[in-house]
Amino acid sequence: MPASWMMVLASLLFATMGVCVKLASAHYATGEIVFYRGLTGALMMAAFARVNRGTLRTAVPAMHFWRSVSGVTALCLWFYALGNLPLATAMTLNYMSSVWMALFLLGGAVMLGGARIDGRLIGAVLLGFAGVALILRPTIEQDQLWHGLIGLLSGMVSATAYLQVTALGRAGEPEYRIVFYFSAGGVVAGLLTTLWTGISPHRSLAGVGLLLAVGVLATVAQMLMTRAYATGRTLVNASLQYLGIAFSFLYGVLLFDDRVTAMALAGMALIVGAGIAATQLRSRAAPDDARQSTLES
């Protein structure tokens, strides 16, 4: 399958996973969904490693630990937002990660005394936050500001997790091992949250099916996206990745009767444009970093 089609399919699977998370949120706490998602992913990656004669043993456990901490934190925040916001809104705020990475790049240049800061990158960041302002305005009117801020925070933490994926890639860690330890971190974090929330009983096969679907869809989408970035062009893949927002918008309207305002749609468009521009500028400055840090692992 060509890289572009793998990216389109991965975006559709991630959007479908968002639907399953939103539906499962009516029966299970966020931490429980993260637990089952992590358990499914860890088992699938362990089987993948065994079939392909790989190993889960790592020489950099500390790097995996910190990547799991940031990645699982972002996942918990995102799943919480998915359960409480219109589907497309929650997806878009999480996709702000590319803009956050551009902001981190600018901050690093300033701290290191960079002689030249790309004004286009500054413009992309400002464009992205203008989109955020437009998206959060309707959530304020619907008393959902808290959930909107949680969704925005999930994108920021995701950006730090992706930068740690870059470091793991440089250390020679294969994608399946990164995904495995991230999933294992989700299992641990999910179990810890049940100390406060308790464990919800499985009242129906539909609920169990939703939990299983979240894990399978997320893991397959991760591997497709990883393969697409490994074989395709970074900017093309990053652009196609934003189809996830369009798929989520359609799902929200058809399944949840979400009413997305013209202001919110304008904000989504600005964030998509800012994300694509930021990815393009980063890929020119550091092609390997742009490729690695965009992997949804």
Can you give the pTM of this predicted structure? 0.87
Q: Which amino acid is at 121?
A: L
42-52 pLDDT, tens digit per residue, is: 999 999 999 99
Asked which of 46-50, 82-86, 112-116 is least confident by mean pLDDT, the reply is 112-116
Summarize the chain as % helix, strand, coil (round to 5): 80, 0, 20
Place of tokens 């972002």: 74
153-171 pLDDT, tens digit per residue, is: 999 998 888 888 878 888 8
Residues present in the chain in total: 297
On the question of pLDDT at 287 being above 70, the answer is: no
CB of 149 within 8 A of CB of 85? no
Q: Is 148 helix (H, G, I), strand (E, B) or coil?
A: helix
On the question of pLDDT at 257 being above 80, the answer is: yes
Could you give the CA distance from residue 125 to residue 75 in angstroms, rounded to a whole number? Answer: 23
Residue 224: Cβ-neighbour burial (10 angstroms; 0-12, 13-18, 19+): buried
Q: What is the pLDDT of residue 72?
A: 95
If you average pLDDT over residues 199-216, what whole number do you get? 94
Residue 159 CB neighbours (<10 A): 21
Could you give the CA distance from residue 81 to residue 272 in angstroms, rounded to a whole number? Answer: 19
If you average pLDDT over residues 252-277, what whole number do you get? 88
86-100 pLDDT, tens digit per residue, is: 998 899 999 888 888
Q: What is the pLDDT of residue 24?
A: 96
CB of 291 within 8 A of CB of 236? no
Provide the token pair at 276: 């694509």
